[in-house]
Structures are given as structure tokens and as C-alpha cells.
Chains A and B, each alone.
Chain A
Amino acid sequence: MTTTSISPTADLQTQYRQLQRRRVLVLALLGLALGGIVLIDLCTGPSPFPLSQVWAGLWQPDSLPTEQQIILWEVRLPRALLAALVGAALGLAGAEMQTVLNNPLASPFTLGVSAGASVGASLVVISGWTWSLWNENLALTGGAFAGAAVTTLLIVWLAWRQGATSETVVLFGIALLFSFEAALWMIQYIADSNALQQIVFWTMGSLGRATVTKVGMLALVLLGCGLWAARDAWTLTALRGGEEQARSLGLAVGRLRLVVLLRISLLAATALSFVGTIGFVGLVGPHVGRLLVGEDHRYYLPASALAGGLMVSGAAVLSKSLVPGVVLPIGIVTALIGVPMFMALLLRRKSIA
């Protein structure tokens, strides 16, 4: 027990305001960094564009030659925006998941949601539906969305049946992860070489299927879920003080858990169905957010989303520049840079929040 001098009210207020200002500043910096890295993402690729050209091309498309216009607007911009949005969606989903399940290991990846998406996409690939009515792109996306949604709904159903204790939900999610991986291997084992290649490519994650429509859809889902989550910010913050404490304040913790899991399922399923497996962002993004701004969810949720966006955008840049002339699958790069980053964070757990 420290016996420092007792600070008067005004002092406490000033300290708290300073803390909040610092958090807003951190959010602003994260936002700027994300904007910056998206610009860098637009500049990098097989034919590098100088920044000035990209900048001009964004505001006055006609200032660029047609070929470059097409590369910038139809290839790079959708991919760069999709990378940032997918990262933000997974970061936000992971942050909410870790809070409602009260477990720092919870994320769409560790609880099997992305494995579910892969199983869904793979089933579409081997069923041959891709060659019939739909175009391949849409079929894969639909299959993945269904897989991810079924997974989270299974988790939600269990949470509801079991009175929603967090340990059972996490254990069930991890069990699902293992079963889906087994199912995925089974599908790969029976798939022909063509389908196998497609499945493997899916599980490595790719921004190659980005389109303006997908960017728009994910942006809408992210905006909607973000605003919805903002309404629960106080409740989620209260939950971090302890589940019993939150219940004693009259908060319906079980119902909150179900609602949040449903919201996450929409967010993660949409994001994963567009890009395939991108692990780790949903796990690490929230940890970065927590270290930077603490756990007042008014700051923690946006910080986790921005951190997730930064990670995937950074990985997108690296995926194009690590091996000259080759675009590596985004999922591989994310995990490769994500893991050491996570280790470093855990080892020096000194927070500035």
C-alpha cells in the first residue's frame, strides 16, 4: 500500500482526462499509420508506382495512362482496401470475442471459425458446383460464408444450451477447430489434383479475389457491426471487471454473450469468405489494442480493429515485396510476421495504456 499524498478531485480529473487524450491520440496515430500503409500498398507491386503518381491517380484518375488507371483502380485499390477491412473486421471480432468469452486465446481462428470457412469453401470446390450455375468466385465465397456461419452458430447454440459459461464455449470452439481440420484433410485426400490445388490455395489466404463489390459489402458489414458494438461498449467494459460483478450490476451477461457471438459470426464470416484463411490477426490485434489503449471498450474496440487492419495491410505490402516478382499468399505472410510480433509483445508486456 503506497501512502503517497492524497490527490484532490481536480488532480484526479486532470489525470483521467490526460489518459483519455493520450488514448485518442494513439487511435489517431493508428488511423494515420493505416492510411499510410494502404498508400504504400497501392505503390507496391510487379510494376511499382511512385507515390506521387498514386496520389494523383486517386484524385484525378484521368491523369494516368489507361493501363495504369486500370491497375490502380481495378486491381490494387480493391486489394489494398480489402486487406485493411479484413484486418479490421478480424481485429474487432477477436476483441469482442476475447471480452465476452473472458479468454485471451479466443479469436475467429482459434475457435474454428476460419477452419469452418475453409471446410465450406472446400466442399464447394470438390462438389463441382463451381462449374455449374454460379461463377466460381461467388460459389467459393458463399460456401465459406456458410461454413463460418454454421461454426459460429454451433458455438452460439452451445453457449445458449450450457447457460453460456465461457470455458465450455472456448473448449467447444477448440474441439470444432480440430474436427474441421480433420474434415479438411479428408476433403483434400479425396480431391483430385485440380481441386486440391484450389483448396490449398484457399487455405493460404489470398486477396486475389478482391472486387469493388466485396470491398463495399465488407465495409458496410464492418460499419454496421462497429456501430452496433459501440452501443455495447459500456456493458463490455463492465464485463472486464468480472462476470459476477457485471451480473450484480443487473447486466444480462448470458444474453450479451449470445448477441456478441452472433455479431462476430457475421463479421468474421463475411471477412473470411472473401479472402480465405488469415489466422492470427483476430488473436493478436486485440492484444495490441489492449496494450496501447487499455480496456475501456470505447477505445479498445477501435484500436483492435485498426491494429488488425495495420497487420493485414503490412502483410499485404510484404507479400508483394519479400520475393521480387512473386505475390506470396497473404495468410502465410500474416502468420509469419504475426507470430514473432506476438512473441515480442508477450515478452515485453510493458503497456503504455
Chain B
Amino acid sequence: MNSAALHIEALDLAYGPHQVLSKLTLAEVPPGSVVGVLGANGAGKSSLLRAVARMERAQGELRLGSLDLLRGRREDLLQHVAYLPQALPQASSLRVLEVIVGVLRATCPGLSAAAREERFHSVLAELQLLPLAMRRLDQLSGGQRQMVGLAQVLVRRASLMLLDEPTSALDLRWQMQTLHALRAAARDRGAIVCLAMHDLNLAARHCDRLVVLGPRGLLAEGPPAAVLRAEVLREAFKVDARIVQGADQLPVVLVERAEPFLADSG
């Protein structure tokens, strides 16, 4: 299952009368890819991830290899798909270790105690969170709690990881740490990583492919250099941007001016 591709076709999602995703079809995502989902607020980034994670009820075709993500058994889904909500883990008095072990108990009930130990230890070490392992969530900063949420997803070793703005509360160093860990999961385990994000340059640097959603659905998809163009950004974000080539040939986006909000259709 670790070499399964993600297939999204004619995906529909509505909240009541409000159609958020309409017949969305994306090119097949091969295993080992990191996909950045971009778009203005309300364009449907979170909804897309939630639909794939079956957090919302969507229609269409959604498959990971042979696993039907819309109609398959929930237990199989939990085995293979891990979703990180945009909301940070709640500031309760639970310990970091407890919430990570809790995730393993809920999603991988067959795991032995030793295997559980190995898993949470390696993920805490990888994210450099070991010094926080015995701390209470309500004693952590927002960014630290976001890292705990990331650890909860990584520890499951799922073949599809869906992360809703995983770096929104992180400083520069932790942003790098997060994207390195996700890249490593894609490279070493052949996992597919889908990230909703706002930082275009971070996306350009770390993603293999970008998907840009606009008010009327898919605006562009493909490798960063092909997608990050001034006209796409104008349509998606209503900004005038200049794209320059960085030293390593990656595009760097400089936003010069935003359109006034009057004409914004949301």
C-alpha cells in the first residue's frame, strides 16, 4: 500500500446550499510526492483535505491505490490516511506523551507496547520534541502544540498524510523542521503528503507539485515553477506579484500590491 497513488476525480462537496468543491479533478499524485494546496481564504483548501480524510461527506471518485476513500471501511482508512486539523491540539492538562500514545492506541490497536514505544520515541526524536515529552499541553506555546499535532500525524506512519496549515504557528526554524520531516516521510516511506498552506515561497521550495484553487475551482496545478506565475497569483489572490529566479533556480514570489477589497468575490 505504500506505493499507492492518490486519485481525485469529479469531487463534489457542499455545506448546505454552498458548493465548495465542484467536480474537482486533479492529476494522479504518485507515491512519494509532496503536494502544496494553495488558494485564497475560503477557496476550499481545507475542504479538499477534509473531503479526502472523510471528515466531510463528499461525492465523486477518491482512491488511494485500490482503497476507496469515500466508501471503504473506516478502519482501512485510518490505517492509511492521517489528517492534521487546522485547530491546534487543545490546551488540556494531558502530557505530550499521553496524546501521542493515545493516537497509536486509537488507530493502530494491534501494535505491541514495544513497537508503540519505538514509534513515539523516534518521532519525538526526529522533531526534536523529546525535552517536551513529559510537559502538559497547557504549558506549551501555540507553536509547540502545533508540533505535537504534527507528531500525532507522523507517528501513525500513514501512506497518505493531509495537513491543514501545519506551519501556521511556527517560527522559521520549526517550519523548516516540519517540512524536512514531511519530505523525509515522502522520500523514505513513499508517503504522499498534501499540505494546505499560505506561504508561497515555502511551498515553492519544499513541494513537488502545487495545486492552486480559486473561486471557480482549480486554477492551476503542476510543478512550482510552472504554477507560480503572475497571472495565476492575480486570479487566485488578487495581488500583483513579481516572480524571480532564486540562486537554486527555484521561483521566489514577491508580492507588490494587493487589489482593493471592493471587487473581491471571496
Contacts and interface: CB of A to CB of B under 8 A. Distances in A.
B92 A244 contact: no
B131 A4 contact: yes
B130 A6 contact: yes
Contact of B95 (A1, A242, A294): A294
A194 B67 CA distance: 71
**Chain A interface size, under 10 / 10 to 19 / 20 to 34 / 35 or more:** 35 or more
Contacts of B84: 248
Interface string A277-300: 000000000000010001110000
Nearest to A234: B105
Contacts of B89: 241-242, 245
A8 to B, nearest CB: 9
A55 interface: no
A51 interface: no
B78 A242 contact: no
Contacts of A15: 133-134
Contacts of B102: 234, 237-238, 241
Interface string A230-262: 000011011011111101111100000000000
A2 B134 contact: no
Q: Kindly name the residue among B78, B89, B93 whose own CB sees the greatest number of chain A CB atoms within 10 A.
A: B93
A7 interface: yes
Given A4-B131, A238-B102, A295 B94 contact: yes
A123 B127 CA distance: 62
Contacts of B103: 238, 249
Contacts of A241: 89-90, 92, 94, 99, 102, 137, 152
B94 A248 contact: no
Contact of A250 (B94, B106, B131): B106
A250 B107 contact: yes
B230 to A, nearest CB: 36
Contacts of B99: 238, 241, 245
Interface string A1-13: 1111111010011
Nearest to A238: B102
Interface in B121-140: 121, 125, 128, 130-134, 136-137
Contacts of B78: 249-250
A19 B75 CA distance: 32
B23 to A, nearest CB: 26
A106 B263 CA distance: 45
Given A12-B97, A294-B95, A245 B133 contact: no
B117 interface: yes
A133 to B, nearest CB: 50
Given A6-B125, A9-B121, A240 B134 contact: no
Nearest to B122: A9
Nearest to B137: A241
Given A234-B102, A241-B102, A247-B55, A294 B149 contact: no
A38 B90 CA distance: 38
A16 interface: yes
A245 B85 contact: yes
A13 B124 CA distance: 13
Nearest to B97: A16
B55 A294 contact: no
A249 B84 CA distance: 10
A133 B97 CA distance: 59
Nearest to A3: B131
Contacts of B131: 2-7
A351 interface: yes
A353 interface: yes
Contacts of B53: 248
B93 A290 contact: yes
B77 A250 contact: yes
B172 interface: no
B88 interface: yes
Nearest to A246: B106
A291 B86 CA distance: 29
B121 A294 contact: no
A242 B87 CA distance: 8
Contact of B133 (A12, A234, A244, A249): A12
B231 interface: no
B144 interface: yes
Which of A4, A102, A234, A237 has the most C-beta atoms of chain B within 10 angstroms of its own C-beta? Answer: A237
B149 A245 contact: yes
B208 to A, nearest CB: 24
Nearest to A12: B133
B74 interface: yes
Interface of A: 1-7, 9, 12-13, 15-16, 19, 102, 234-235, 237-238, 240-245, 247-251, 290, 294-296, 351, 353
Given A6-B128, A15-B134, 14 more contacts: A2-B131, A3-B131, A7-B131, A12-B121, A12-B134, A240-B92, A241-B102, A244-B86, A245-B89, A248-B82, A250-B78, A250-B106, A294-B98, A296-B98
Give the top 9 A-B pairs by smallest Cβ distance, nearest first.
A244-B85, A242-B90, A249-B106, A240-B92, A241-B99, A248-B83, A250-B78, A6-B130, A244-B87
7 contacts: A12-B130, A16-B95, A102-B90, A240-B90, A240-B92, A250-B106, A295-B94
Interface of B: 53, 55, 74-75, 77-78, 82-90, 92-95, 97-99, 102-103, 105-107, 117, 121, 125, 128, 130-134, 136-137, 144, 149, 152
